[in-house]
Structure 1
Amino acid sequence: MNSEEQQVLKRLKAARNAYLKRNYARAIEHYRWIEQAIQDDEKNLPIIWIELGWSYYYNHQYAEAIEYLSKALGSSHLNAEQRFDCNRIIGFAYQQLNEWDRAIEYLQEALRQPVQESTKRYAYFELGKIYFIQRELDAAESHLLKADKLFRMEESDYKFTIHYYLGFIEFFRKHYEQARRHFQYIIQNSASSSTRATGFFGLAHLFYEENDYPALLDVVEKIVQLDPNFYDKETLGFFACLACMYLYKWEEMEDFFQELKKRYPAGRYASYYPFFEEALRERKLPDPFQKRRVKPGGLLDNKN
């Protein structure tokens, strides 16, 4: 082994150590040096491109991740597992860039690779989420159910998240009892208070649709107790205002509404603010008051 090869191996070890320590910027520096040093090595250069792609992805440099993983896919030296990983991570990168059609294209290509079905579970999972965001409910359900069968019992966080999405799929279909079963599964089986809060959040939407305002107010308080940093406090605030209005709890409504308006002056529920203001001023329900369907806005984020 000559001195140049020794230097490449030394830098490769340093790159992988930096990657394992999550120092992705440092790992990228090492990998870029190696890339230049082995330009004529057609067999090993694609491996460096793959590891560079992973490093860029975890460093939130998604365009660069796509660039290097696409270079690797142009090589004839990759095996099926490597081609699967390249397509999968490119799909995830496009997902982070909100380029949904491109994400679907690469994730579907990943699923076409001849690898073990269990290896595909994350691709099925992310595709299900993307289809949900696009409100393609049948496609979302199909991919999430496939993922659910493949995740192991110790990967319970993914399984609970799948039930969360399946619950809202049934919610949007107006199959409320089926939705309730998914949300209750989370509540009854998760040991995590923050995860259980998501199950109660699903129930909150059902109580809203069923006009069960005492239950709605109770469950909002339960969610805040379980997870003070809950990801969709805007919807919780709206639910609390609405429930208090229908229950004629004007002082409580005043507190909730002032906080909602302060935090989200032009938020998703701003069109309701004049109705709430009138109700508080007149101490009665606005006439006429048209209740509209609530969209669980947090689901439109990339929630894993």
Structure 2
Amino acid sequence: MADVSSDEYVQNGVTRRILLAGPRSFCAGVERAIEIVERALESRGAPVYVRKQIVHNVSVVDDLAGRGAVFVEELEEVPDGSTVVFSAHGVSPAVREEAEERGLDVIDGTCPLVAKVHAKARRYAARGDTVVLIGHAGHEEVEGTLGEAPESMVLVQTAEEVRELSMADPQVSYLTQTTLGVDETAEVVDALRERFPLLYEPPSEDICYATTNRQNALKAIIPEADLVLVVGSANSSNSVRLVELSRYAGTPAELIDTAEDIRPEWLEGVRTIGLTGGASAPPALVEGVVSALSAHGPVTVEEREIARETVYFDLPSAVRGDAPRPADGLSS
């Protein structure tokens, strides 16, 4: 393909194609977490404290902070008697105990799918398993899950780390962080099966539906794209996995928080752009990217939807009020 600059595209009237991956952007757990903070602000008034970022997106956090949410790293920063929301990534039992001891008004924003992983960790550890958690060290979700049974769990990130495990206990099970790359996780699970022939596998995978759907949707457009843009923040695990997925397939990809992050040189020689958003990226930011790209020359927009998401999660009773919700729990 000829190296055509953005200016030349504008001058020559070349039309770029934007392929929108679907599903993209907010998932049910993120929508629920954001609504929890919004309702807490409405019912209790500012400030409402939030331990860690409610979801991993700079724009979402900045918006809520402007409305009175105060984001803190640890509970020691929360004044006694205040309202505190736990982020969608979950917390360890030690954090819950600290909040209770201090009499804080706790609203739990943990994604129900993360809570299910926590429940499995407790159950597997209680029956005597050594539980291998596949995940990224330091991620808030991983820290919370490990905290459920710290004496019975071990963290691995790669297949190589699995092969280096020296555990003698044959009673081994595994769990995964909910926002991992599907293909890379499969490699780690295969290594576990080889290392532990009696490995107990969970009846259903822990990688959440939204992570899987967004990866599969991107896979459907990568072969046609010259460049992939992923809207999401750098600390968003599922967004970073989307970038890695594209690059692994041989298509250049860039992670951007907003349209302002787009560099004109990325667009040189590019005729087809794949566009998606991580599960914590507001849809409006993706729409803003489409508008920004049109400023670099004429575009056509085509959506490729591989699945329709109808999942919802009920709000916790602490902020539910009288607002109607379809039903408790998970539906799809």
Hey, which of these two has a bigger chunk of helix by percent? Answer: 1
**Structure ranking higher in strand proportion:** 2
* Pair member with larger Rg: 1
Shorter-chain TM-score tier = under 0.3
Q: Which has the higher contact order (CA 8 A, sep 6+)?
A: 2
TM-score (norm 2): 0.25
TM-score by length of 1: 0.27
